[in-house]
């Protein structure tokens, strides 16, 4: 099943260096040979690379620190900004996986910041609304609900995985029913209203 903890590492990349950055990231991972089963994705808008690293417990982060320092030096020449990392803990999954990380062709990261006093009500609400849509949409192969432990953008992070084209995947999330769900979330639960909803698409990098 899904990893109890995931570290996401995202690096903004200079557009003209995107392919070189991608190759350099893979080369670095092969050179370190830590045995971790990370997955690497490229953003569809061509702005960043995103890596998922599974953890069993938070104490494992200490072992990653030296590797992150070396990775910073290895990829700095291609970067448009610094690494953005966050630690997420597993909450539930309307569509879980057998492995610890999603390995679908595409993933969508869907983030919302929920008002703390509304969190329990939000959990019940999303089971009857968002999760109901997800379970009924065949194109969604993976849908994992995590929550931030440490993050500069705290809150709920849904990791959705799919293998079809983006347009087919998106049909359930552009329907009138789902637009009403988004409106309800913005009115009742999300900090900042509908503007608090963040989504971004990524494609898996071959060989990872």
What is the crossing angle of helices 61-75 and 18-32, to 10°?
Answer: 140
Q: What is the pLDDT of residues 169-194, one digit of tens each?
A: 999 999 999 999 988 888 888 887 55
Q: What is the pLDDT of residues 153-171, one digit of tens each?
A: 889 999 999 999 999 999 9
- Give the pLDDT of residue 130: 96
Encoding tokens for residue 191? 């900090």
Q: How far apart are CA 44 and CA 115, in angstroms?
A: 30
- Least confident segment among 20-34, 62-76, 137-151: 20-34
Q: How far apart are CA 206 and CA 208, in angstroms?
A: 6
Confidence class of residue 35 from pLDDT cuts 50, 70 and 90? Answer: low
Angle at 202 between CA 199 and CA 204, to 5 degrees: 155
- Give the pLDDT of residue 31: 74
Does domain 5-204 sit in CATH 3.30.70.100? yes
Q: Taking residues 139-143, what's their average pLDDT?
A: 97
- Give the pLDDT of residue 193: 59
Q: Taking residues 114-136, what's their average pLDDT?
A: 95
Share of the chain above pLDDT 90, in %: 78
Q: How many CB atoms lie within 10 A of CB 30?
A: 9
Confidence class of residue 33 from pLDDT cuts 50, 70 and 90? Answer: low
Phi, psi of 188 (to 5 degrees): -110, -35
Encoding tokens for residue 150? 């440490």
């Amino acid at each position: 099943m899904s990893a109890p903890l995931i570290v996401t590492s995202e690096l903004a990349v200079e557009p003209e260096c995107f392919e070189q950055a991608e190759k350099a990231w893979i080369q670095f991972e092969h050179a370190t040979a830590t045995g971790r089963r990370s997955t690497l994705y490229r953003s569809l808008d061509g702005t960043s690379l995103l890596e998922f690293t599974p953890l069993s417990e938070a104490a494992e982060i200490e072992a990653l620190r030296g590797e992150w320092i070396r990775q910073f030096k290895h990829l700095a020449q291609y970067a448009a900004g610094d690494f953005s990392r966050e630690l997420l803990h597993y909450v539930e999954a309307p569509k879980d996986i057998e492995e610890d990380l999603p390995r679908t062709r595409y993933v969508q990261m869907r983030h919302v910041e929920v008002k703390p006093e509304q969190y329990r009500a939000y959990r019940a609400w999303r089971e009857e609304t968002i999760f109901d849509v997800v379970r009924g949409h065949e194109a969604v192969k993976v849908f994992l609900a995590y929550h931030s432990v440490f993050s500069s953008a705290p809150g709920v992070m849904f990791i959705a995985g799919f293998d079809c084209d983006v347009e087919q995947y998106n049909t359930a999330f552009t329907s009138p029913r789902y637009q009403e769900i988004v409106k309800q979330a913005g009115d009742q639960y999300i900090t900042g209203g509908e503007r608090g909803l963040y989504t971004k698409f990524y494609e898996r990098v071959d060989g990872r």
